[in-house]
Amino acid sequence: MRPFCGEVWAVDVIAIGNAFHRLPRSRVAARAYRWLRPGGRPALVWSQSPRRGELPWQRDMADVVARWMDRVGGHDRVPADAGQARRLVPDREVLEGAGLEVVGTFGLPAPHTWTPRALVGNVFSTSVLSREALGRRVEDFEADLRGSPRGHDSLTETIDTAYELGRAPGQRRTGSCRPVGRGSHPRSERCDLSAVSDSRKSE
């Protein structure tokens, strides 16, 4: 990343993972518009929690999480209007309102095998059952969650990571872009990306 014209930064990509909904979206999008170079890419990335799946080990994990949310008041840590702002003004409209073009939404499914320790860490990273939320009961929760996968031969799932891909205006392009559908890799995007490549070579 390098300074450009004083207050503007020539950034190729700004990626926000599972966090845009917690940020002042309009302000962040406006700054992304200013910081991205012409043709640069904003990307909103998200994936589903492992406890949201339908596999037997995921249902067992969900039961443990739900039980502990009741015990420590985890539900109270979720704002009553959570999600309302995004329903009223979707992320796509926020990006477009800041002057960014939205290319499309893409999925990138990939198999992943968890360990009990990694699942515990995943839950600790949330606001509802963080170490702070659990307080003195951290070790009890960890023991309970580590025990939930017992009896399951594998903790493998397919994580469908999705991302909304945008583009900062101002770059003259020789082609057009269009996503070829959910599950498509960015290489399936029909366009000339020479501007992106040239910028990266100059770093």
126 against 196, higher pLDDT:
126
Q: Is position 167 within any domain? A: yes
- Asked if the structure places residue 202 within a domain, the reply is no
Structurally, the chain folds into a number of domains equal to 1
Classify residue 32: in a domain, yes or no.
yes
What is the pLDDT at residue 80? Answer: 67
What is the C-alpha separation between 192 and 167, in angstroms, rounded?
Answer: 13
Asked if the model's pLDDT at residue 203 lies above 80, the reply is no
* Helix axes 138-147 and 116-124, enclosed angle (nearest 10): 140
Instruction: Write out pLDDT tens, residues 142-175.
Output: 999 999 877 788 999 999 999 999 999 985 343 3
Q: What is the pLDDT of residue 82?
A: 65
Letter for the amino acid at 113?
A: T
pLDDT over 80 (residue 186): no
- The CATH number covering residue 85 comes to 3.40.50
